[in-house]
Structure formats: C-alpha cells, structure tokens
Copies of this chain bind each other. A is one copy, B any other.
C-alpha cells in the first residue's frame, strides 16, 4: 500500500466484550484497509468502559469513505468532526447518488456545528435535512420528493450502537437462537418478565402472528394476553384473521377441527365461507356488534379496542374487510406502531416478522418464536443484541406464557 490516506476515530464503551473493537477491525481488514491503534485505555474492571483511538488507513478516498462508514456504524466517531453533507433528490421517489442509508440505531447529525438527534430509528431509509431549522428526519425512498435535501456520505454522523446487556440474570439469550434442545420454562419466565415490565412502563407490545397460531389452537391463549393488557397491538395478515373467524364460526382452522384434530371433508371451504360472512356483516366490528362473531382473537381485539394492522399478501383469498391490500400503505400503518414499541413478540410468520423487524429500532426487545429453526435463525441473524429466537411449539409456548402471566 504505497499511497496511504487516513482518518482518526475514537470509540468508547465495552469495546472488548461487546465485540465492538473486533467488529471494527474485521470490517477494516475485510474492506481492504489497515488500522493503527493510537491508544487503547482498557477499563480496569468489567464495569468500566474502554476508550480507543484508531487511525483508519485506506489506499484511496473511495475506500477510506467505505472504511469510515463501516466504522461509524459500529459507533466510531471521527476526531475531526465536520458537518453533514447533503444533496437534493433528483426526482420524486429517487435519492441522490451517494445517499446515506440508515441503520436501525439511534443516529445524530451535525448541522452547522451542532448535533441533532434524528427521531426514531429504522434501517434502509434516507435522512432528509432542513438546514435552516437544523433538523433531520427519516424518509422512505418512496416518500421522497424532487428537491428534498438528503444526507450523502458519512460525514457529520454519529451512530450509537446498542451494547450487549452485561448484567447476569437479564435476558441471557440475547442475540441467539435458543435451540429446541434447551429447557423452555426459564424462557417463558423471561418473556413474561419482559411483558410485565413493558406494561408497567406504559409502553406498547406488538404481537406479530401467523395463521399457525390459530391452527395449533393457541389463539385463545393469545387472546388472553390481549385481555390482560400484556399485548397491545397485533400485526398479521388476512390468513390469521380468516382462520380465527373460521374457528369461531365453524370450529375448524383450514378445515381441521380444533377440538379433536380431525379433518372435516369439505372443510377447506370453511375459510372462504368465513370471509363471506364477515364481508356480509360489514367487517369485524359490525360482525361483533350484530352477534355474528362471538369469540376468538379478532373478537377479543374488537372488544378490547386493541389496534391491529392486517397486511395483504398475494396468497390471500378474499380478503377480509379491513385487510390493507396495498403493501406500502400497510407498511406505513405498521411503521406508526413500530416507532415507539417497547417489546415485540413474533409467532409463526416469516413474512410479517421480517417486515416488522425491518421497521423496528435496534433497541426494541424482540422475541421470535417458531418451531422451524430456519425461520428463527433468519430473524435473529438480522437482529441486534435485543433479538431472541426460540425454537419450540408455538401452541404449547403461548399456553405456558398466558398461564404464567395469569398467575
């Protein structure tokens, strides 16, 4: 590397045991850069934070820019802070070339010498600035308008990484998939503790659910969690609402009797008949009001007034009234609830869980429960230290959780 340009950064925190330093070093080497450790003050005890100053070295400016962007996403801050830079969007729905793409972590922008915190945190968005007001906000690519000023490059940005929880006895399973071969009782207790705390803090708790929750007979247990106020918002699709109403109206889910598990010949028609009944009644609220729907998860949501977002998908029959068939509108509806969520529990749906995970801040504790280890791994791999995966039977898990919280 004959030619060498560099920039110096500082980084602070539990650099070693939160893996911050090793991640930064890995990224630099992987991206074709080098580093020198200018100083490294290691915390004396396991409670003290550490502080390092690194010189990040690249062969050219483009590489150095990439190195700096990567390091900043890990929490590094340039020693010579400069203001953020921006460019106008060239057209509606188009970011300027070189736009800054967000992480799901708390982010600050330096505008005219002072740091402004951007409200919310969501990955894969742009940052729109108002230089006069010295403010910045997140914006989705589809919502940007020609002339909007969007951040470009990596200058004037500070990202606050979520640190791994250090106290023993907190959620011990953070950022890992709990194997099907681990004891489950303790995990049920930890999730119960999380929901109790979220409720006590007055924060919302989102349940993201797939139709298997109904198929496995777990919907009544989920409903109890809403009745007790431990869950406050439901995200799902047409299928979970449909099979829930099918079970309320016909006693089956996908044609399988929930009381004895037998297949009802012709029962495959029940879901379409359930959709038709709710459409005829004029929607879930009306169906509850007029006595068409007298039990089940959707009934409980209507009765408790808990908000829900049902997002459409191309495999839907019907759909049920209230299902948002435009996916961008559905995302917008979900985004509202994601911004302030205190906790998020995901059950048996890869599609809705990934969609929700895309919108949640890294700081929201998220628990993904599925019997399929591939789904759990996929969600945990995308997540932060706040994400926990549990491989187990969703039906039996929800029953245990509701029982624990009902005590």
B316 close to A168 (CB less than 8 A): no
- Whether a CB of chain B sits under 8 angstroms from the CB of A21 is yes
- Residues from chain B with Cβ under 8 Å of A262 in the complex: 30, 168, 172
A69 close to B266 (CB less than 8 A): yes
- Residues from chain B with Cβ under 8 Å of A52 in the complex: 42
For the complex, what is the distance from the CA of A2 to the CA of B124, rounded to whole Å?
50
B30 close to A315 (CB less than 8 A): no
**In the assembled complex, how far is the CB of residue A102 from the closest CB belonging to chain B, in whole angstroms?**
9
B354 close to A334 (CB less than 8 A): no
For the complex, what is the distance from the CA of A164 to the CA of B187, rounded to whole Å?
32
A373-397 contacts to B, CB under 8 A, are: 373-374, 377, 391-393, 395-397
A186 close to B371 (CB less than 8 A): no
- Residues from chain B with Cβ under 8 Å of A45 in the complex: 34-37
**In the assembled complex, how far is the CB of residue A47 from the closest CB belonging to chain B, in whole angstroms?**
9
Closest B residue by C-beta to A30: B265
**Option from B73, B166, B261, B334 in Cβ contact (under 8 Å) with A183:** B261
- Residues from chain B with Cβ under 8 Å of A37 in the complex: 42-45
**In the assembled complex, how far is the CB of residue A152 from the closest CB belonging to chain B, in whole angstroms?**
12
Closest B residue by C-beta to A69: B266
- Whether a CB of chain B sits under 8 angstroms from the CB of A288 is no
B216 close to A94 (CB less than 8 A): no
B42 close to A25 (CB less than 8 A): no
- Residues from chain B with Cβ under 8 Å of A181 in the complex: 212, 215-216, 348
A25 close to B17 (CB less than 8 A): yes
A46 close to B19 (CB less than 8 A): no
Mask, A285-327, CB within 8 Å of B = 1, is 0000000000000000000000000011111111100000111
- Whether a CB of chain B sits under 8 angstroms from the CB of A351 is yes
- Whether a CB of chain B sits under 8 angstroms from the CB of A258 is yes
- Whether a CB of chain B sits under 8 angstroms from the CB of A279 is yes
Instruction: Choose the segment among A105-113, A195-203, A267-275 that binds chain B (4+ C-beta atoms closer than 8 Å).
Output: A267-275
**Option from B44, B70, B215, B272 in Cβ contact (under 8 Å) with A141:** B272
Contacts A22-B19, A264-B30 given; indicate if A396 touches B184 (C-beta within 8 A): yes
Contacts A90-B280, A327-B312 given; indicate if A180 touches B371 (C-beta within 8 A): yes
For the complex, what is the distance from the CA of A124 to the CA of B391, rounded to whole Å?
29
- Whether a CB of chain B sits under 8 angstroms from the CB of A226 is no
- Residues from chain B with Cβ under 8 Å of A5 in the complex: none
B35 close to A46 (CB less than 8 A): yes
Closest B residue by C-beta to A381: B179
**Option from B260, B327, B392 in Cβ contact (under 8 Å) with A316:** B327
Closest B residue by C-beta to A334: B314
**Option from B280, B327, B351 in Cβ contact (under 8 Å) with A325:** B327
- A sample of 14 cross-chain residue pairs with beta-carbon separation below 8 angstroms, ordered by A number, consists of A16-B22, A17-B29, A28-B46, A29-B46, A34-B46, A69-B266, A97-B276, A142-B318, A168-B262, A180-B372, A313-B355, A314-B327, A327-B327, A396-B397
Which 3 residue pairs across A and B have the least CB separation, nearest first?
Answer: A183-B217, A396-B396, A27-B265
Q: 6 additional contacts, CB 8 Å, given A19-B22, A94-B280, A101-B269?
A: A181-B216, A182-B215, A314-B330, A315-B351, A319-B328, A371-B391
